[in-house]
Structure 1
């Protein structure tokens, strides 16, 4: 089984305490390999937002062909909210992406909600990030896709209120491995 993990800095494994965009030694996609034995492609990019422009969709399709994965795991939306998008706009962008996705299996994951921290100065953004899970769940139900709310895995976030800690990556990989057992 080959899994394509399409996400942002929390998929990449960004270490907010490291210098110059440092990365944890074992972000969740790498830990998922250990837990499942699957081939896992970590396609996380710092700052990635949900694709919405034609050239972004074209790149997504080129990557899908290049990776030729059996399943897509997508977790995006945090950066969209940080950049001022509403929950509704983020969900609409995700729907447009998923409607253009031609993969045998797609698992939609809502990111853990943000908490107050260096990057999250107010409770409004925290509440918006909590609402994203409800929107994604409704979207997955409409499209008939498997869905999971990463908030159920008790992911610990770093001082910035956005990025996973090392322990958060471990918990995420454990939760996802268990989830995949039920889906695959």
Structure 2
């Protein structure tokens, strides 16, 4: 099973405790935790600061599952949830990956912190999940709401803590094991 995780700094594994853009070690990044647990080939295509691109990259033809989690940076740049969802619609519509192989993940809502000083941003990030759910239904792609997984955020109100990465990995694991598309012809390892 070949999985690509396409996202921003929370997919990359950014460690907000350092000033130089470091990342958590592989033992504490959700992508790597998930790879160990499933035994699948999982590629981390996360990048710090990534907003929803205006043009979709070319993903490998043999991709079995594409997980997309973007939108937080769009909101931090001043876009509304509706504008962000429209950008995501254009992005997903351009993909050559079959829609039944795409999992759109709504990022956990941001919280008050060093980067988040306004209730408006918190409300917008919660609204994004509603917009993404409707978008996923419209396009026929799978959807997951990471806001329901108890993901802990660091002092900045945006980035996952190490414990947050573990909570995210557990949430996405539960999402994937109940899905016939993800578990077909696989035998994931049930321990870390």
Residue 75 of structure 1 pairs with residue 65 of structure 2: no
Aligned-partner SS, 2:17:
coil
Does 2:112 align with 1:116? Answer: yes
In structure 2, the partner of 1:51 is 53
Name whichever of 88-97 and 18-27 sits farther off: 18-27
Query: In angstroms, what is the RMSD of aligned CA positions?
Result: 1.0
Range with greater deviation from structure 2 (163-172 or 14-23) = 14-23
CA distance in 2, matches of 1:12, 1:3: 15
Distance (Å, rounded) in 2 between the aligned partners of 1:154 and 1:146: 20
- Rounded to whole Å, the distance in 2 between the matches of 1:177 and 1:101 is 24
Q: State the Cα deviation string for residues 30-83 of structure 1 (Å, max 9, x = none).
A: 01111111110000000000011xxx33xx12xx03x74211000000000000
Q: Which has the higher helix share?
A: 1
1:118-137 to structure 2, matched below 5 A, reads 118-137=114-133
5 Å matches for 1:27-66? 27-52=29-54, 56-57=55-56, 60-61=57-58, 64-65=59-60
SS in 2 for 1:49: coil
Secondary structure of 2:178 counterpart? helix
Q: Runs (4+) of structure 1 moved beyond 3 Å?
A: none
Q: Which residue of 2 aligns with 1:169?
A: 165
Q: CA deviation at 1:182?
A: 1.5
TM-score (normalizing by structure 1): 0.93
1:6 maps to which residue?
Answer: 6
Moved more, 21-30 or 154-163: 21-30
Aligned length: 176
Instruction: Please point out which of 71, 90, 94 is paired with 1:96.
Output: 90
Cα distance in 2 between the residues matched to 1:159 and 1:47: 17
Alpha carbons 1:35, 1:174 under 8 Å: kept: no
Structure 2: which 5+ residue stretches go unaligned?
A: 183-192
Deviations 1:71-106 (A, max 9, x none): 100000000000011111100010011111121300
Q: How far apart are 1:19 and its partner, in Å?
A: 3.3
